[in-house]
């Protein structure tokens, strides 16, 4: 069974599969971030989050708690719909770098169950990839801002 081939040399089927994988991955990262932001704002509260940050040695703990909660809640929601994805990705990577540095680097393990950094690494990588792809075909970025230039070099 033959398939149509795009100008980039990929079949239209593999292009659709890639677009769906990008969508599912972006939404999954967004949902996880949203849940963590919700937890910081509404389950634990900013005061308790700031106290936890202070205990980890985070400077300006209240400001950092507000930043982290906002990036995770609002940024997670924006990743879910794929809006302002490159900017959100940068903020998420910064947030996860802080989480790694202050909460996980001294754990001595990658495993999250032992205090390791696997979750923050996966979230940072997923957000960075979504940002590099400008949200993908199935995103509000694509709808609002149109098609972005390909990341691959021109032939």
What is the value of pTM for the model shown?
0.85
C-alpha span between 117 and 76 (Å, rounded): 19
**Strand ranges in 41-145 using DSSP code E only, listed in sequence order:** none
* 38-63 pLDDT per residue, tens: 999 999 999 999 999 999 999 999 99
Within 10 A of 139 (CB to CB), how many other CB atoms are there?
26
Residues 3-17, mean pLDDT to the nearest whole number: 64
- The predicted pLDDT at position 38 comes to 99
So where are the chain's domains?
13-139
């Amino acid at each position: 069974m033959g398939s149509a081939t795009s100008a980039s040399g990929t079949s239209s089927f593999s292009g659709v599969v890639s677009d769906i994988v990008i969508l599912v991955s972006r939404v999954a990262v967004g949902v996880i971030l949203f849940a963590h932001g919700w937890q910081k704002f509404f389950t634990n509260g900013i005061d308790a989050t700031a106290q936890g940050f202070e205990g980890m040695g985070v400077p300006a703990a209240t400001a950092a708690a507000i930043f982290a909660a906002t990036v995770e809640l609002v940024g997670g929601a924006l990743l879910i719909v794929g809006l302002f994805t490159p900017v959100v990705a940068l903020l998420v990577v910064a947030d996860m770098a802080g989480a790694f540095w202050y909460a996980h680097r001294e754990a001595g393990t990658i495993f999250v169950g032992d205090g390791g950094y696997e979750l923050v690494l996966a979230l940072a990588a997923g957000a960075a990839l979504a940002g590099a792809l400008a949200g993908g075909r199935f995103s509000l970025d694509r709808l609002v801002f149109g098609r972005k230039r390909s990341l691959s070099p021109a032939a």
